[in-house]
Structure 1
Amino acid sequence: MMRTVAIGDIHGGLRALTQVLNKVEVKDEDTLIFMGDYVDGWSESAQVIQFLIELSEKINCVFIKGNHDVWCENWLRSEDVNPVWYIHGGKETIESYELFSEEEKKQHLAFFENMPLYHLDDENRLFVHAGFTSMHGVAKEVYKETFYFDRTLWEMALTLDKSISEDALVYPKRLKHYKEIYIGHTPTTNFNSNVPMHAANVWNIDTGAAFKGKVSAMDLSSKEVFQSDNLPALYPDEKGRNKD
């Protein structure tokens, strides 16, 4: 039976990624959709990208581009270091590339450049790293940065009264375009949840791997969740993006 599995933000945690994929028990016929932010945080960002490139040669994968991926892509292209990126995990990502050749860096750059900003599957399920703001849907979004920086989609879904039906005049029009919407970007741990969260028709799969949380994967049909250990336990000598 073919499965579609969405996988949340990884943030350089290769140990967590391999752990959660082992729990999923990925089959050749599965489709894996990664929600973005593969880099920045833990010490194996470059190694995560190399692993994903090799994985995509064996399994059907979709790699959505996240904001941290945009920053890393720009650095690989120009070697210019964005100061905001540097203090939010960029330093660790730069260090992870120390043993990678220029040819390997070019391969990784091409990998980032080919990532879509969103993906719409045959069942009208939307996958986007952060969100979108156009009431007409993603195809009408004016500012592409919204796809990897927006938080208003998730905030709106969280505050939507559950008693309001989709037929109601006040029901948000941007939610009506898609059967389901899958996002990352905003850790569910911000809302005291260590598992993926569901609000309206939006599923948030980012369970705080950049900080003290886990990498999560979800079978979209059954909604079964698979999770790694907490990242600090897998990288006991590192802080990731934790400040304390």
Structure 2
Amino acid sequence: MKRTLAIGDIHGGFKALKQVLKKAAVTENDTLIFLGDYVDGWSESSDIIQFLIRLSDKQQCIFIKGNHDAWAEDWLSFGRAPEVWLSNGGRSTVDSYAEYSQENLEAHLEFFQRMKNFYVDEENRLFIHAGYSSMHGPEKEVYTSNYRWDRTLWETAVAMDRKLSKNSELYPKRLLLYNEIFIGHTPTLHLGFREPLNKANVWNLDTGAAFMGALTIMDVETKAFWQSDPLPLLYPDEKGRNNDNARSKKH
């Protein structure tokens, strides 16, 4: 049976990615939608990109661009390595590319450049890394950086009164645009949860793989999900993004 599976923020945790693909018994018939932030954190960022390039030759994959991916793309394109990026996982990404040839670097850059800002499927489900602020949807977003940085969409869903009907004039209009919205970017750990969270019609699949949490893959139809081991257990000699700078909600 063909499934559509969404994958949360990976942040260099290749071991976790392999675990969840195995646990979910992914086949070439499945469509995989990655919600972004493939890099920055654990030590295998470049390995993940290489794997995903090959995986996309075997089955349908949709790759959404996250804010960390945009940083990595800038570095591959122009050599830009701002301290805010390096101190929030970027250093591990740079290190992971130390032995790559120029040809492979260019192939990876092309992969980053092909990533989507967002994706809407045939069931009117939106897949986006962070969010959008426009009441008319991401297509009308003035600041494209919101695709990768906006937190107000998730914060709105979290703060909503559960008793609020979709027919109410107070129901957030931008949430009504889609049947469901799948995001990453803001770890559910911030709310004390290690599993994916559903607020209003928004599903957050960033379960903190960059930090002390696990990586999550979800069947978007049934909402069944599978998780890796917590990333610190998979990389016991590494910190990931578990430092004071990286804990900031800004990144």
Q: TM-score range by the shorter chain?
A: over 0.9
In 2, distance between residues paired with 1:170 and 1:234? 45
In 1, distance between residues paired with 2:65 and 2:19? 22
Alignment of 1:142-153 (within 5 A): 142-153=142-153
In 2, distance between residues paired with 1:30 and 1:218? 12
Q: What secondary structure does 2:86 align onto?
A: helix
In 1, distance between residues paired with 2:100 and 2:159? 45
Deviations 1:65-116 (A, max 9, x none): 0000000000000112111101000100000001111100100000000101
Report the TM-score when normalising by structure 2. Answer: 0.96
Gaps of at least 5 residues in structure 2 are: 245-251
Report the TM-score when normalising by structure 1. Answer: 0.99
Gaps of at least 5 residues in structure 1 are: none
Q: What secondary structure does 2:127 align onto?
A: strand
Alignment of 1:137-216 (within 5 A): 137-216=137-216
In 1, distance between residues paired with 2:119 and 2:26? 21
2:153 partner letter:
L
In 1, distance between residues paired with 2:47 and 2:139? 33
2:213 partner letter:
G
In 1, distance between residues paired with 2:113 and 2:51? 17
Counterpart in the other structure of 2:48: 48
Number of corresponding residues: 244
Deviations 1:36-72 (A, max 9, x none): 0000000000001001111111111000000000000
2:23 partner letter:
K
What is the root-mean-square deviation in Å for CA atoms of aligned residues? 0.7
Counterpart in the other structure of 2:65: 65
In 1, distance between residues paired with 2:79 and 2:220? 38
Alignment of 1:101-116 (within 5 A): 101-116=101-116
Counterpart in the other structure of 2:248: none
In 1, distance between residues paired with 2:141 and 2:98? 37
- Compute the displacement of 1:11 (Å): 0.2
- Compute the displacement of 1:221 (Å): 1.1
- Percent identity over the alignment is 57
- Compute the displacement of 1:134 (Å): 0.5
